[in-house]
Structure 1
Amino acid sequence: MVDRAERNRLVEANLPLVGYLASDLHARATHVPKEELASVGALALVTAADAFDPSLGVPFGAYARRRILGAFADEMRSMDWASRGIRKRIKEVTAVRETLTAAFGRTATADEIATTMGLPRADVVEALADAGRTVTTIDDESVLDIAADIPFPEESAELRARRDVLTRAVAALPERMRAIVQAIYIEERPVKDVAEELGVSHSAVSQQRSEAIRLLRDALDRFFSDGDTPVEVTSRVSPATRDAYFDRIESGGDAASAREPAASA
């Protein structure tokens, strides 16, 4: 956990992210007041700062972003007017209506839908009326799917290109390194848990993580160097292993057949 001064610093530094995420999500789901999203997001940011543990090796920005988006999802679900049962009935009725409409070459009537489904006509009419209401469908994943598409505010064409290369660079890592990076930075799992799962020591996981980060840094320098400044190599693998890694990134291939690299002396 962080002390109060550090917590306050983290909150102040990341408040603009709350506003950006709230504005972007409001633009995609206009029935949700932006002010409410901002309030919910600010509270989530504070609780994230309180719970943040730097020793886990997860960047605070990524950790806070997930907590904020999760809070947005909870808020949107709490505002949803329809239960799961109602949404299930709407989905079933509209599916039958579309099937009958395609078969008849005209819009199916409520009576025809009711007869096909074996339901009272009143239930079908009610479901069709509910289907016509302009409300964002919210289930376990839909809100998070919307939120996951929100880019960071500073994202630009160059940053998108960097993220694309970084995605390919992670995929091209040797298998164990890739698993460690995904577990720690994407799944946000503690190093201790990853070590236990892999059957290795905490220090071994930390060493592999550090070397993976060095390789990723070398990859970004390799593909985004301005050409005027010499690229400083930070990874400790042999030049041949490093070049093979860069080749896999360029080809878009993964490291399924790559061996774990041995650090060069």
Structure 2
Amino acid sequence: MPKTQYADYSEARNLLVSYHQKPSIKLRNKLVKLHSGLVRKIAHQFSHQCTEPYEDLEQIGYLGLIRAIERFDPSQGYAFSSFAVPYIRGEILHFLRDRACAIKIPRRWQEIYNQGQKVRKKLTSSLGRCPTDIEIACCLQVSIQEWLDCKLAIQNRITLSLDTTVVHHVDCPITLGEALADPRSTSLQQQEEDRQQLQGAMSQMEEKTRIAVELVFLKELSRKEAAQHIGTSPMTVTRYLQRGKVQLVNLLQAPALAAGA
């Protein structure tokens, strides 16, 4: 993993621990600088999908990074980059939605979304409940964040007036705007619940299988890059991913089955 692309792990980790114990603007600014490459990478990705200037997307992305730094708990044991990406992406997506920016939906995202709807129906039938976003992403063999981005991008194409009446009371009609929950808090809460569920399942997996799943599905590295990181071949990484997919589905289904018993 090139040092120019990613912050030095040990330095960043020590700073995150220090900030969690005693927050300060000075430490936060150091952490922002160390992880600025993450913001730039995500901003570049979005700059090809909308008409907003890259510089604006980058600045908004830093707000998401700061939120992630303030909320990250190093004692949980998971990678900060995996924790920060949803906050950075989410901040940019909310900015684009609020600006009513016409997002160009990539063909790949349209295909993933369409396949996801088929997978959702199939899993609903087999599980007897609505599948989680993590389960859908695993079946599609894409990262959970890419699946969430696809969903939000497609949903943002549908425009509804917030003044539309959705519940009719004689004296007090309720509009769509009044009925909707705060999308930011709802989205972040769902992402946090999914992250905790995924982290718990992954902690029970075999080490190399877990590492391969984290590198490819969460950190979005290529299989070749993951193979170099693990010290094996891309073919072996593929086998780890296939094994990991089966293990994750079984582990994620177990709590639901136990609750229904």
Q: TM-score category by the smaller chain?
A: 0.3 to 0.5
| TM-score scaled by length of structure 2 | 0.38
* Bigger RCO of structures 1 and 2 (CA < 8 A, at least 6 apart): 1
| TM-score scaled by length of structure 1 | 0.38
